[in-house]
Chain A
Amino acid sequence: MSVAEAPAPEALPEVHIVPPTPRLVKVLIGLGIFAVVVFGFFTPSGEDVTFQLALGEEALALPDLTLPAKISAIAFSAIALLAAVGGLFAARKERALWPYSTVFGIFFVLGFLSWAVAGSTINLVGLLQGSLLLAVPLVFGAMSGILCERAGVINIAIEGQLLTGAFMAAVVASLTQNAYLGLIAAPLGGLFIGLLLAVFAIKYWVDQVILGVVLNVLAVGLTSFFYGRLLAPNQETWNSPPTFSPIAIPVLSDIPIVGPILFNQNIVVYLMYIIVIVINVALFRTKWGLRVRAVGEHPQAADTVGIKVNSVRFRNVLLGGLVAGLGGAFFTVASVGAFGKEMTAGKGFIALAAVIFGRWKPMGALAAALFFGFADNLQSVLSIIGTPIPSEFMLMTPYLATLLAVAGLVGKVRAPAADGIPYKKS
């Protein structure tokens, strides 16, 4: 008689498994109830709210939508709540949640706007178009963060990379009077910071958080120095870059609402679409991506199958620098034109928040960045219309959302296991 056979699986008793309700669904249901009660209760009755659905320049413009504010606040919130409850059933059946959370998001916001804008008018297309623009540097920054952190290097220097990118784009585009050359120079600015990060983090094992902070200070110092010495005194030659104008994509840009928001933008925005898609596909469906993720999770395991851990990391940090630098160009050659001292104003840190909120996934980070951009723009639009909410509160949204995400309120957030740990060999 030898040792026992393992028990046959089919002989095990049948157990009906009810998967636990995801936190996200609970949070959404809570928010939905909150919306119905608060927006419904506080919206004054007798007021109307007008949603404009076109910018006014489209060939095919939708008419304005005027609704009684109180009723629409309640109705929209109720639809959001229904979507959240739908999510509950989807979770039970283990189906994807994102369609439900998307519907929830849209109607929650509409409910919120019905309350906040009651008595006046808001242009939804303009609101969203502006949101997308504000999100662009966040998206580039977040992609840089993902490229680095997926390979196991923490990139706190996104802010600095955006800033040097913006600076380089402005200077080169001004000197050559060619915005495209500015767009080529910008990634090189980010690359410079990326190179420093790679060398000190990977080769000399400097603490990556401290290093990132130092690099940000360096970027601010360098660009401010040249700004004060060179750009400010000689605005004409050094700091008057031409800017890109929007390119309307035929047919697509004529779609009502979506068209003007997504397909009548400048080249940097289109580059962003491409970069996000490419990174997403590459990270999860190619050999390169598998290796990057292995290096970020368990570098020694990657090493034992012949993957050169530190060169993968080096390459990714440089790539990250290029991407964030390119995003920096948006500040100068794709929006305001001139470079300004510390003009990135913390966007790099919000991009970092988007990486975490998006759970180190390109699509997640994109969604997070768009959400943060929306909160930012809504804040400025509402402050013009005049609303009951203090604008500082809206500005807090990205940080608050990230805090909640990290606290685990929307499900498990886990960084790549080897994130921030240098790989040393003896």
Chain B
Amino acid sequence: MKLELRNITKKFGDFAANEDISLIVNPGEIVALLGENGAGKSTLMNVVYGLLQPTSGEIFVNDVQEDFEGPGDAMTAGIGMVHQHFMLVPPFTVAENVMLGHEHTKGAFLDLDAARSEVRRVSEAYNLQVDPDALVEDLPVGVQQRVEIIKALVRDAGVLILDEPTAVLTPQETDELLGIMRDLKAKGTSIVFISHKLREVQAAADRIVVIRRGRVVGEASPEATKAELAGMMVGREVSLTVEKPPGNPGEPVLQVSDLSAADLEGRPILRDLNFEVRAGEILGVAGVQGNGQTELAEVLTGLYEGEVTGSITMDGKELTGRTPREILDGGLGYVPEDREHDGLISSFTVTENLVLDQFGNAPYSSGGVLKSAVIDKRADELIEEFDVRTQGAAAPVSSLSGGNKQKVVMAREMSRELRVLVASQPTRGVDVGSIEFLHKRIVSERERGAAVLIISSELDEIYALSDRIAVMYRGAIIGVVGPDTSRDEMGLLMAGVTND
């Protein structure tokens, strides 16, 4: 199917998120949209999908002008979309989520068997494994992403929009998704693909359209180098590697010994971990998602709900058994992997979210009363420093683009003198320019003498930042290696293969 946008403008109040954007996606073509956080990619796609009404401009599907009142109309016209933020009903099963909106019925009743077999059909055809009867709220984010993809595939859309579908996928799953995209392309489906990972864009796209501050600034071919693409996006040269002076680790700050954890049902999650992070050192934690990394971060910050044994000390003081509040006040900063759910309060303003961990302390409040002048000033400084693209410090954080939300979390956690920084997926959904900046900031935390623990499923990130790399497999650390370890060896370690 052919999709054509003519002069689309979308304004929120006075702010133009999209300005005069024209775009053609031909049948069987994969067009990648590239742009900084807040450039307006998701907004544009939401307009195409009927979730937002354009302020002006026209949409054509197969050369017929369409006027979408809501997503229902867009779907009828053959458009399907995988949203950046999951559109799944948490207490529903996978099958119920997939059939919602085009329910199978037997007489007056829902036909759940038909829904299940539909899920199984798609999940087998595309090798996206998921249990149709699992409740979505019980599934890890990676699997939820699979459900979203199945939801879009089930409907056999002629135009498929994929808004950062790979942000929470493992590299292997990403490769599979790129394969699916090629199959669909061969069937004549036209695809709009959004990702901040240049490797994927180069691998998948036929054509790359670059958007900056709401406008199309140019096109590139997938043959362009990463540096060229990054430069077009950001409008300046971006260095894709972090400059990192050799480390100079001091005394151990974070010490973990004999740490084990089990979930509420008694299943082992962490197995006998022993490691330390020194002052002025970055320890990277690598591993395939779901091998205990998430829980390790939660245990370190006192958020874990299961059974924990062993000891964790920060500057010699025991952390196990303490509340998250005490641990944070002790000088630990925490960037959770799920920013929507654990990192932000979406209905609060950007300012409020920026002081969420400290509003009760001096200088932000005194005698139980918030000092808004101080808070506002601090928020403005952080917004400036971290380049958070927002329509104002008083805007609700829910109106920010995905990557900018991530920057808010990072800004908050790195805005005070930390002894330890624990960051899970610190640059998830963030554009290359901002990754450069955030990586520099993380390195400067190290230079200042903080102990840094980075958990990331992006091997590039692990290699770029780490002084040492711990590899997790099924809840255990099966090896601690240097950053000069080859990717092959790393792959083996992540698969649980040790060479001894």
Contact = CB atoms under 8 A, between A and B. Distances in A.
Interface in B24-59: 49, 51-53
Contacts of B90: 297-298, 417
A12 interface: yes
A1 B100 contact: no
A289 to B, nearest CB: 8
Interface stretch (A13-21, A225-233, A390-398): A13-21
A286 B109 contact: yes
B179 to A, nearest CB: 13
B89 interface: yes
A7 B474 contact: yes
Contacts of B91: 297
Contacts of A19: 265
Contacts of A13: 268
A52 to B, nearest CB: 44
B83 A304 contact: yes
Interface stretch (A78-86, A152-160, A305-313, A380-388): A305-313
A5 interface: yes
B288 A286 contact: no
B483 interface: no
Given A7-B474, A15-B267, A298-B89, A306 B496 contact: no
B108 interface: yes
Contact of A305 (B100, B288, B291, B459): B100
Interface in B50-108: 51-53, 70-73, 75-76, 81, 83, 86-92, 96-97, 99-103, 105, 108
Interface string A3-15: 1111100001101
A4 B495 CA distance: 4
Interface residues of B, number: 54
B71 A3 contact: no
A294 B492 CA distance: 43
A290 B170 CA distance: 32
A191 to B, nearest CB: 25
Contact of A426 (B12, B71, B86, B459): B12
Given A1-B492, A305-B75, A305-B100, A287 B105 contact: yes
Nearest to B457: A3
A291 B105 CA distance: 13
A13 B492 CA distance: 21
B100 A291 contact: yes
Interface of A is mostly: loop
Given A290-B110, A294-B92, A297-B91, A5 B265 contact: no
A2 B172 contact: yes
Contacts of B88: 298, 301
A3 B87 contact: no
A343 interface: no
Nearest to A304: B87
B264 interface: yes
A285 interface: yes
Interface string A226-256: 0000000000000000000000000000000
Contacts of A177: none
Contacts of A417: 90
A300 interface: yes
A17 B268 CA distance: 11
A300 B99 CA distance: 16
Contact of A20 (B100, B175, B264, B496): B264
Nearest to B288: A4
Contacts of A18: 266
Contacts of B76: 306
Interface residues of A, number: 36
Contact of B474 (A12, A20, A286, A426): A12
A302 interface: yes
A1 to B, nearest CB: 4
Contacts of A15: 265-268
Contacts, number: 123
Given A2-B491, A3-B491, A285 B110 contact: yes
B51 A303 contact: yes
A3 B71 CA distance: 37
A305 B71 contact: yes
Identify the interface centre among B53, B100, B151: most chain A CB within 10 Å of its CB: B100
A281 to B, nearest CB: 8
Nearest to A295: B89
Nearest to B494: A4
B201 to A, nearest CB: 19
B108 A3 contact: no
B290 interface: yes
B103 A287 contact: yes
Given A304-B71, A305-B71, A308-B72, A426 B52 contact: yes
B102 A305 contact: yes
B479 interface: no
A138 to B, nearest CB: 26
B252 interface: no
Contacts of B474: 7, 12
Interface in B239-295: 264-268, 288, 290-291
Contacts of B264: 20
B460 interface: no
A300 B398 CA distance: 13
Contacts of A303: 51, 70-71
Nearest to B102: A305
Ordered nearest first, which 9 A-B pairs have the shortest CB separation?
A305-B101, A306-B72, A4-B495, A4-B494, A301-B87, A287-B103, A1-B488, A304-B87, A1-B491
24 contacts: A1-B488, A2-B175, A3-B288, A4-B491, A4-B494, A4-B495, A5-B495, A15-B266, A286-B108, A293-B92, A294-B89, A297-B91, A298-B90, A301-B86, A303-B51, A304-B51, A304-B83, A304-B87, A305-B101, A306-B101, A306-B102, A308-B70, A308-B72, A425-B52
Interface of B: 12, 49, 51-53, 70-73, 75-76, 81, 83, 86-92, 96-97, 99-103, 105, 108-110, 151, 170-172, 175, 264-268, 288, 290-291, 459, 473-474, 487-488, 491-492, 494-496
Given A3-B494, A293-B92, A304-B49, 18 more contacts: A2-B171, A4-B172, A6-B288, A15-B268, A16-B266, A286-B109, A290-B96, A290-B99, A290-B100, A291-B100, A291-B103, A301-B86, A301-B89, A302-B101, A303-B71, A304-B71, A305-B71, A306-B72
